[in-house]
Amino acid sequence: MHAQRLDRARARMAEVGVDVLLLSVGADLPYLTGYTAMPLERLTMLVLPRDGDAVLVVPRLEAPRVVEQPGVFSVRPWDETDDPIALVAGLVGAAGVAAIGDRTWARFLVDLQAVARVGSWRKASEVMTALRARKDDAEMAALRHASGLADKVAAQLHAGEIPLVGRTELDVSQDISRRLVAEGHAKVNFAIVAAGENAASPHHDAGGRVIKAGEMVLCDFGGTMPDGYCSDITRCVWTGGEPPAQVREFYGVLQDAQAAAVAAAVIGTPCEEVDGVARKLISDGGYGEWFMHRTGHGIGLEEHEDPYIVSGNHELLAPGHAFSVEPGIYIPGLTGARIEDILIAADGGPEVLNHVTHDLVVVDA
């Protein structure tokens, strides 16, 4: 698998005119090698020449964590008194164009620029984004699995198994986080819990606000699985009693907009059109000014990655694109709501990975 991915990376380097690819921290490195670099002051760097053997330069004390893949890449450990910048520069040799990982620490790039014989520098995303945006079969299976586990926690929320009224947002956020891990996530990336008027802030930080009966609770949570792939889901619940007509009204508009955007996410459709479908329905419903973020983001080894479902992104949806569709309506001072599913663009139409109801479920908890 990694050999194939390195071949695809080399082909892409030829396409975009890159002679050597340099990857450090971030998701590009594990995508190509299976190895995740620790974000340390000690340099880890994959040197991948377009024509030549790949070498993973790692601190000696990290080397035992590397699963070597003979014929795919070799490992070159460096000792505490070695100069890893000189080591990488030596492996690079004379290169016209080097592309360096977008998340690489600036200090390493600055040091490399001083000594490496490189004509010009570009971002590795120019090589890697197109590869990583379209998921292969194993990646799609991983995303389905992660979404299924996030679904379980959302279902517990809907079933009233997660107590809400009388608890703080932070308490509920920690409860959701524990459940994500209990279901199999290796780590939690976020668990937004926003009650009442706080739900009007899309990325509200769960805090000391106590949840009351008869209000909206917006929950947006996701984590990373042991295999590196992410989940991300948003559902809203109403805490007891019948929601006011105004809430039913705007939630209905949101639900229709989300469903229409999902249905529009067919192969060959520009990403921005999926955003446009959601935005038009919300605007027609009279809530346009209160939907102020893009409709979605790609997901994979990173919680947010390409393709972005946003106005101005003319990229056409292609098989294997995995992304969220998550419009929201946020009415300042009142409340807000968002509905989010993860989708995969497929030949038979969009495959929705989250199966929990989109309805505004009333929970008496």
Candidates 69-77, 120-128, 241-249, 336-344 — which segment interacts with Zn ion by CB under 5 A?
336-344
Q: What's the CA gap between 340 and 233, in Å, rounded?
A: 5
Candidates 46-54, 74-82, 144-152, 316-324 — which segment interacts with Zn ion by CB under 5 A?
316-324
- Is 324 one of the binding residues for Zn ion (CB under 5 A)? yes
Smaller CB separation from Zn ion, 306 or 340: 340
Residue 296 Cβ vs Zn ion, minimum distance, rounded to whole Å:
7
Candidates 50-58, 69-77, 96-104, 340-348 — which segment interacts with Zn ion by CB under 5 A?
340-348
Question: What is the distance in angstroms between the CA of the first residue and the CA of the last residue of the chain?
Answer: 47
Partners of 236 in the beta sheet? 218
Smaller CB separation from Zn ion, 62 or 340: 340
Smaller CB separation from Zn ion, 175 or 232: 232
Which of 139, 232, 272, 306 forms a contact with Zn ion (CB under 5 A)?
Answer: 232
Retrieve residue 64's tokens.
């035992």
Residue 83 Cβ vs Zn ion, minimum distance, rounded to whole Å:
41
Q: What's the CA gap between 83 and 76, in Å, rounded?
A: 13
Residue 86 Cβ vs Zn ion, minimum distance, rounded to whole Å:
42
Q: What's the CA gap between 180 and 152, in Å, rounded?
A: 9
Smaller CB separation from Zn ion, 196 or 298: 298
Retrieve residue 262's tokens.
């999902």
Residue 342 Cβ vs Zn ion, minimum distance, rounded to whole Å:
8
Q: Give whole-number Cα distances, 208 to 168, 196, 211, 333, in Å.
A: 5, 13, 9, 18
**Residue 263 φ then ψ, to 5°:** -65, -30
Taken in order 176, 157, 263, 296, the sign of the CA dihedral is: negative
Q: What's the CA gap between 187 and 66, in Å, rounded?
A: 21
Q: Give whole-number Cα distances, 37 to 31, 41, 73, 162, in Å.
A: 12, 11, 15, 36
Q: 10 Å Cβ neighbour count for 174? A: 16
Show the site string, 233-272: x = touches Zn ion by CB under 5 A, - = not: -x--------------------------------------
- Is 147 one of the binding residues for Zn ion (CB under 5 A)? no
Show the site string, 102-141: x = touches Zn ion by CB under 5 A, - = not: ----------------------------------------
List all residues 6 or more positions away from 176 whose beta carbon is below 8 Å from its beta carbon.
153, 157, 162, 191, 193, 219, 221
- Is 306 one of the binding residues for Zn ion (CB under 5 A)? no
- Is 305 one of the binding residues for Zn ion (CB under 5 A)? no
Q: What's the CA gap between 154 and 131, in Å, rounded?
A: 31
Show the site string, 192-221: x = touches Zn ion by CB under 5 A, - = not: ----------------------------x-
Partners of 94 in the beta sheet? 117
Candidates 206-214, 255-263, 335-343, 349-357 — which segment interacts with Zn ion by CB under 5 A?
335-343
Where along the sequence are the contacts to Zn ion (CB under 5 A)?
A: 220, 232, 234, 324, 340
